[in-house]
Structure 1
């Protein structure tokens, strides 16, 4: 049986994640952004992705380093979504294969 507190924690995290996703739209819905502000908003997803994968740069795990190389190669050729999918899939597969 799943612990009710675990379910509550998952639901709370989902709610907070959703609120952060729509918060920007709600606050900026009637405003016109400057080109500089637009550039910042467009760069934010990439910054988040870098903060997630940055610890792998100092990893000693060969699977993580190989997945990082694959992800960086994909990032030079593809858009954000395929790069994320390839990165997650390669990390999972290489960790499973290499231990």
Structure 2
């Protein structure tokens, strides 16, 4: 493993770490220096959770098999009406049923 870690790779990892840190701390510093948040910025910040959730769920849905699709749809149906923990349980149960009983 040590022979695979070149100096270029170390520099790349450190640069990515610094960029991530500066991005995170930059947003915090920017927001804390404002007296009020402009309405457009507030709208953009309110859209972040939906955007992050979409980037996590969409690839799994479109690249996964039928078992993944059925489990996600079952979780969606339950999630519209009930709290998150039940959503996770139903999604997990649907995935296990699809994998072990239906062979998806």
C-alpha deviations, 1:18-52, integer Å up to 9, x for none?
Answer: 55444321222111212332121022021111122
Q: Given the alignment of the two structures, is residue 53 of structure 1 paired with residue 54 of structure 2, yes or no?
A: no
1:64 aligned residue: 68
Count of aligned pairs: 92
Q: Given the alignment of the two structures, is residue 25 of structure 1 paired with residue 28 of structure 2, yes or no?
A: yes
Q: TM-score, normalised by structure 1?
A: 0.54
Q: What is the RMSD computed on CA atoms of the aligned residues?
A: 4.3
> Secondary structure of the equivalent of 2:41?
helix
Structure having greater relative contact order (Cα 8 Å, sep ≥ 6): 1
1:39 aligned residue: 43
> Secondary structure of the equivalent of 1:33?
coil
2:95 aligned residue: 94
Q: 1:75 to 1:96 in 2, by over 3 A?
A: closer
Instruction: Identify unmatched segments of 5+ residues in structure 2.
Output: none
Q: TM-score, normalised by structure 2?
A: 0.53
The higher radius of gyration belongs to 2
Instruction: Identify unmatched segments of 5+ residues in structure 1.
Output: none
